[in-house]
């Protein structure tokens, strides 16, 4: 048993996910936060509109329609954010879901044709400019991974200092979810265009929900749900130095736990991860984990979230974004599995807010 105290009390969270982006904010300084224990019918049509001067400018309203600087709804679903120091801007990448929604039958899964990966840029994380499609879908070649009737999900971009390239990884599948692979694309600019390179099943395993994580030492890792989502895999050999491939070694974690949608961040030298259960697009309880090494062992903490599911299966383009502040601090609420003691890791908390904003003068770096 470790005796070193990991109970950490600072109120700030330094979030390094996929890049050297440091989304640091003081949770106790969030201005005029309005809280509820649970979200109640927050599918409101009222939009967050940066084009209008309003009293609630710069406030995040989880679940509302979010407009870009052209006055159009932001279409960057299942995405990730990259901070580029040279431009002082954030880049939000996600799947463009601007087309019609299709259903195989009344109770079947909904899908939308691949249009491509969209990109938006921002200096303040609230006002977003549409930079267009950085990786387009394929209209005519039915054998292409990005053919319009296939599945594209969770695009993530990291920057490689050695090559000067922006490298994109994402999940691709066929309409029956049997391909279960990753696609790699590369660009010389954060706003594209990106060049499709190849697809593969990493380490020879199926790969569905995935993310990439770039550590402080510029080593990058691929984390993906595998074995029919029954376990998560982390590449021990990490990504190659150019981030364009995966090395041959791999470690399995959370075996038999049926977790997906991994999100990893690092705080004061410790690694934290949040995952969801495997219930398709239906809501379920999240779980948080902590580890001294990204390779584990990972210790289970608790469900950090009080929020809602904004997946609109009737009209996928109207699926909303739920941005909420994340806090790390205080002891965990529940004992470790098979352990009568309480973990010494700090609690990860993601509470529901009707609205919230970053403090004046907040800087991301």
Q: What is the pLDDT of residues 159-214, one digit of tens each?
A: 999 999 999 999 999 988 899 999 999 999 999 999 999 999 999 999 999 999 99
Q: Which residues contact 249 (CB under 8 A, 6 or more apart)?
A: 235, 236, 237
Residue 337 in contact with residue 300, Cβ under 8 Å? yes
Which residue do the tokens 């736990």 mark?
Answer: 257
CA distance 202 to 246: 7
Per-residue confidence (pLDDT) for residue 27, from 0 to 100: 37
Per-residue confidence (pLDDT) for residue 9, from 0 to 100: 33
Per-residue confidence (pLDDT) for residue 14, from 0 to 100: 36
pLDDT in tens, 247-280: 887 889 999 999 999 999 999 999 999 999 988 7
pLDDT confidence band for 18 (50 / 70 / 90): very low
Find the mean pLDDT for residues 278-296. 87
pLDDT confidence band for 5 (50 / 70 / 90): very low
Residue 222 parent element (H or E): strand 220-226
Tokens of 153: 């999900």
The residue extents of the domains of the chain are 12-355
Q: Residue 45: pLDDT above 60?
A: no
Average pLDDT, the chain: 82
CA distance 282 to 120: 27
Residue 65 in contact with residue 47, Cβ under 8 Å? yes
pLDDT confidence band for 25 (50 / 70 / 90): very low
Per-residue confidence (pLDDT) for residue 17, from 0 to 100: 39
Tokens of 303: 């469900």
Per-residue confidence (pLDDT) for residue 310, from 0 to 100: 63
Give me the DSSP letters along 42-79. -----EE-TTS--TTTT-B-TTSEEB-TTSSB---EEE
CA distance 155 to 79: 5
Residue 307 in contact with residue 352, Cβ under 8 Å? yes
What's the CATH architecture for 12-355? Answer: 5 Propeller (2.115)
Q: Which residues contact 135 (CB under 8 A, 6 or more apart)?
A: 116, 117, 146, 155, 168, 185, 192, 193, 194, 196
Q: Residue 219: pLDDT above 80?
A: yes
Which residue do the tokens 């299709």 mark?
Answer: 102
What's this model's pTM, rounded to 2 decimal places? 0.85
pLDDT top residue among 90 and 37: 90
Between 99-103, 162-166, 294-298, the lowest mean confidence (pLDDT) is in 99-103
Find the mean pLDDT for residues 294-314. 77
Q: Residue 289: pLDDT above 90?
A: yes
Instruction: Specify which of 233-237, 280-284, 294-298 reaches the highest per-range mean pLDDT.
Output: 294-298
CA distance 109 to 244: 32
Residue 265 in contact with residue 15, Cβ under 8 Å? yes
pLDDT in tens, 128-166: 999 999 999 999 999 999 999 999 999 999 999 999 999
Per-residue confidence (pLDDT) for residue 101, from 0 to 100: 78
pLDDT top residue among 11 and 187: 187
Instruction: List, as own/partner pairs, every contact residues 95-99 make where C-beta atoms lie below 8 angstroms and the sequence separation is at least 24, other chains included.
Output: 95/152, 95/153, 95/154, 95/155, 96/133, 97/316, 97/317, 97/319, 98/317, 99/317
Residue 120 in contact with residue 92, Cβ under 8 Å? yes
Find the mean pLDDT for residues 281-287. 83
pLDDT top residue among 116 and 22: 116
Q: Residue 54: pLDDT above 60?
A: yes
């Amino acid at each position: 048993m470790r005796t070193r105290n990991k109970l950490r009390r600072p109120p700030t969270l330094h979030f390094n996910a996929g890049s050297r982006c440091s989304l640091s904010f003081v949770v106790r300084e969030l201005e005029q936060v309005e809280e509820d224990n649970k979200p109640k019918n927050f599918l409101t049509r009222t939009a967050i509109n940066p084009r209008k001067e309003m009293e609630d400018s710069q406030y995040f309203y989880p679940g509302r329609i979010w407009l870009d600087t052209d006055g159009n709804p932001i279409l960057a679903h299942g995405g990730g954010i990259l901070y580029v120091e040279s431009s002082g801007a954030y880049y939000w990448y996600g799947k463009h879901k601007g087309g019609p929604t299709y259903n195989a039958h009344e109770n079947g899964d909904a899908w939308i044709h691949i249009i491509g990966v969209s990109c938006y840029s921002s200096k303040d994380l609230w006002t977003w400019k549409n930079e267009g499609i950085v990786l387009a879908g394929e209209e005519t070649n039915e054998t292409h991974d990005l053919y319009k009737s296939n599945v594209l999900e969770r695009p993530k971009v990291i920057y490689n200092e050695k090559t000067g390239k922006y490298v994109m990884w994402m999940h691709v599948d066929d309409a029956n979810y049997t391909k279960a692979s990753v696609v790699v694309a590369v660009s010389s600019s954060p706003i594209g265009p990106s060049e499709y390179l190849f697809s593969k099943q990493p380490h020879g395993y199926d790969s569905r929900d995935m993310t990439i994580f770039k550590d402080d030492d510029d080593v990058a890792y691929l984390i993906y749900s595998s074995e029919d989502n029954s376990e998560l895999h982390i590449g021990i050999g990490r990504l190659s130095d150019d981030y364009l491939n995966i090395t041959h070694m791999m470690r399995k974690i959370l075996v038999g736990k049926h977790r997906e949608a991994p999100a990893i961040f690092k705080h004061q030298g410790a690694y934290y991860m949040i995952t969801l259960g495997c219930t398709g697009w239906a809501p379920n309880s999240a779980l948080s984990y902590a580890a001294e090494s990204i390779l584990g062992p990972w210790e289970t903490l608790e469900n950090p979230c009080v929020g809602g599911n904004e997946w609109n299966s009737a009209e996928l383009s109207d699926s909303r974004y739920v941005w909420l502040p994340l806090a790390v601090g205080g002891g965990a609420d529940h004992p470790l599995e098979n352990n009568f003691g309480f973990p010494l890791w700090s609690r990860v908390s993601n509470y529901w807010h009707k609205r919230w904003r970053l403090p004046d003068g907040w800087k991301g770096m």
